[in-house]
Structure 1
Amino acid sequence: MGEAGANCLQGGKMKTNSFFAAAVLLAASVCSVANAAEPLIIGADSSNPPWEYKDTDGNYIGFEIDLCNEIGRRLNMDVKVEDYGFPALFPGVSSGRIQAAISSLTITKERLKGASFTQGYYDSDLALVSRTGSGIEKLSQVSGKTIGAVSASVGEKWVKDNTQKYSIGDYRGYNTQDPLLLDAKAGRIDAAIGDISGIQFAIKKIKGLTVYEKIPTGDQFAIMLPKNSPLLPKINDVITQLKKDGYMAELHKKWFGVAPDANSSTVQERPIPTP
């Protein structure tokens, strides 16, 4: 073969190789875009330990943070947590500014009118907490007293529903749990009502408070989404998988130090709640 022919052949090979390389890059780019993780925007109350709070470096940690990160991993979606005060989670979801919300959110008939919830994954009760030695150790002793709770929470609903029954003197709402408990410790309110797990976790650090009475509710925590969100069945299916493969039980051990009850919603599959 002559030099010109060789060069032509070589040039053809180079063009072919270049074309092949470009095709590979294009295909890789298309695949990358197709497989790119869609962001999952989740609103949370950043001061709600052990469910979600920030460590000393400002990173979100907690039971529900671990849960949502695992859900995102299994759905190939990047999880982005945005800081909301507890009351702001509800308009944030209903307006679509956030795709989901966490913060030990209880499933209620009232909330189901304007939002959707996944199946429950934690059975919760409320607690009466007050300053150690305050003399308020039973619900029967709150007559005429000022009681606090986190605004828009099940604790607040309980106080309002039971004000007449227990002759509660006054009610004070708070955006987050920490100032609620600090005011109870300082005596600015006489007692507080809130999620027992969150309160028990918090008073390990906020000394001088005691949980005096457990208030059974039959409540369950779940992830809240906009009404009829297309993400609801996808996220709910992952939660079912996490229960079946033992992930949820391990998460419970990690954050509460004990295994969940075998019949609890942390272990057993539950239906998607309906209004």
Structure 2
Amino acid sequence: MHNWKSVAFVTAVSLALCGGARAETLVVGADSSNPPWEYKDKAGNYIGFEIDLVNEIGRRLGMDVKIEDYGFPALFPGVSSGRIQAAISSITITNERLKNASFTQGFYDSDLALVSRENSEIKSLADTSGKAMGAVSATVGEKWIKGNTQKYAFGDYRGYNTQDPLLLDLKAGRIDAAVGDISGIQFAIKAIKGLKVDEQIPTGDKFGIMMPKNSPLLSKVNDVMTEMKKEGFIADLHKKWFGVAPDKSSSTVQERPLPVLQ
């Protein structure tokens, strides 16, 4: 007859060795060319505002965080198919996106920016008639351009998978101007010289973490975000990555309701 204590011990060890004691993994999709939100350092490690954010969320939930590299447009089918459990990359919460995905509360209030070359005749949106425009595909910047083409009489439009080729094409003169998230553009043009922000475009938009529709993790992640706001953790990330404190009334500081389809 086997000693039941020995059997129990061996079973416990076997479970641990087989991964029974391992933390659950939160698989997060991210566009790795989206500074300062997420990008890679010289060693190939993911860094950025949202990388810090999801790593802290994972830590507080007792979950390992695995970041997977996706181009921005690929994040949406990645989430809807369940291949990834969450997506980050300065993703704006919109009613259209809420039809196919769920979002946490917003954690950043974002405006858009019009950007052109420093030697360009473009000084504001009033100077963009007939000009070739660009934006990252599937972003609010692209949607804004398409929705305002008639108003401003924009010329040709070109979409890009990530921000770097968009801004490099702008610098090279292959397009005349671009529209995108102001924080990401301001951060990028510190390194890509010869570009300037011409005009800030108010949107009322908020960034959130996108998750599969009705994800069982949604409320847990959202509750942790509320806790982090109350403690000032997300405000500290704002100071770290943008060099200034967020407005006290912003969604970086204040709790917001879970977004619902309107």
TM-score (norm 1): 0.90
Mapped partners of 2:29, 2:139: distance in 1? 15
Return the alpha-carbon distance in structure 1 between the equivalents of residues 219 and 91 of structure 2: 18
Aligned pair count? 259
Rounded Cα–Cα distance in structure 1 between residues aligned with 2:180 and 2:41:
22
Q: Which one of 110, 117, 139 corresponds to residue 153 of structure 1?
A: 139
- Structure 2 regions of 5+ residues with no counterpart? none
The residue that corresponds to 1:96 in the other structure is: 82
Q: Give, in whole Å, the separation in 1 of the partners of 2:254 and 2:21.
A: 32
The partner residue of 2:192 within 177, 187, 206 is: 206
Whether 1:225 and 2:216 are equivalent positions in the alignment is no
Show the counterpart of 1:6. none
TM-superposed CA distance for 1:25, in Å, is: 6.2
Is residue 167 of structure 1 aligned with residue 153 of structure 2? yes
Q: How far has the Cα of 1:134 moved from its partner?
A: 0.3
SS at match of 1:69: helix
Structure 1 ranges of 4+ moved more than 6 A: none
- Structure 2 partner of 1:191: 177
Out of 232, 240, 252, the position equivalent to 2:238 is 252
Instruction: Name the larger-Rg structure.
Output: 1
CA deviations on 1:185-242 (whole Å, 9 max, x unpaired) are 1111000000000000000000000001000000000000011111110100010010
Q: Are 2:252 and 1:269 aligned?
A: no
Cα distance change of structure 1 residues 253 and 29 upon mapping to structure 2, 3 Å threshold: farther
- Deviation track 1:100-150 (CA, whole Å, cap 9, x = no partner) reads 100000000100111100000000000000000201111011100100000
The one-letter code matched in structure 1 to 2:199 is E
Equivalent in the alignment of 1:9: none
User: What corresponds to 2:128 in structure 1?
Assistant: 142
Counterpart residue identity of residue 141, structure 1: D
Distance 1:24 1:259 in 2: 53
Distance of 1:137 and 1:227 partners within structure 2: 42
Aligned AA (2:204) = G
Query: Secondary structure of the equivalent of 2:187?
Result: helix
AA of the residue aligned to 1:60: Y
Q: Match of 2:123, as an amino acid?
A: E
**What code does the residue aligned with 1:152 have?**
A
Give me the whole-angstrom Cα distance separating, in 1, the residues matched to 2:217 and 2:147.
33
**Is residue 56 of structure 2 the alignment partner of residue 70 of structure 1?**
yes
Percent identity at matched positions?
Answer: 74
Structure 1 Cα separation of the partners of residues 51 and 110 of structure 2: 18
Matched position secondary structure for 2:192: coil
AA paired with 2:36? P
Give the corresponding residue for 1:46.
32
Which consecutive residues of structure 1, in runs of 5 or more, have no partner in the other structure? 1-14
Q: Compute the displacement of 1:36 (Å).
A: 2.1
Task: For residue 30 of structure 1, report the CA deviation from its aligned partner.
Answer: 5.3
Equivalent residue, structure 1, for 2:227: 241
Q: Which structure's residues are more often helix, by fraction?
A: 1
* Alignment partner, residue 12 of structure 1: none
Aligned partners of 1:94, 1:224: CA distance in 2, in Å? 10
Comparing 34-43 and 186-195, the one that deviates more: 34-43
